[in-house]
Amino acid sequence: MPNIKSAIKRVKTGDKRRAHNATLKTAMRSAVKNFEVLVDNKDVENAQAAFVLASKKLDKAASKGIIHKNVASRQKSRLAKKLNSITA
């Protein structure tokens, strides 16, 4: 445990940041899984709405630095392919 006041503050802010990042990452994963469930059930209308939400969550996580921007782009591309497979 740090003794210096500034180091103590850095530990506290790191813990807060980690908790916040974890909530964003969990929400992102949940949105993606929800979309995939709708695709498996072939629910086109709800899947399209879920795709928009999942894309938004992925973009938000990428902009905050929680995931890399290329990872977000790749996942969005894969989700779009799944959506197109049930709409076509």
Q: Give me the long-range contacts of 58-63 (CB less than 8 A, separation at least 24).
A: 58/28, 58/32, 60/24, 60/28, 61/24, 61/25, 61/28
Architecture category of domain 5-87 in CATH = Up-down Bundle (1.20)
Cα separation, 34 vs 32, whole angstroms = 5
What pLDDT, on the 0 to 100 scale, is given for residue 1? 84
- Which residues in the chain land under pLDDT 50? none
What pLDDT, on the 0 to 100 scale, is given for residue 88? 79
The whole model's pTM is what?
A: 0.87
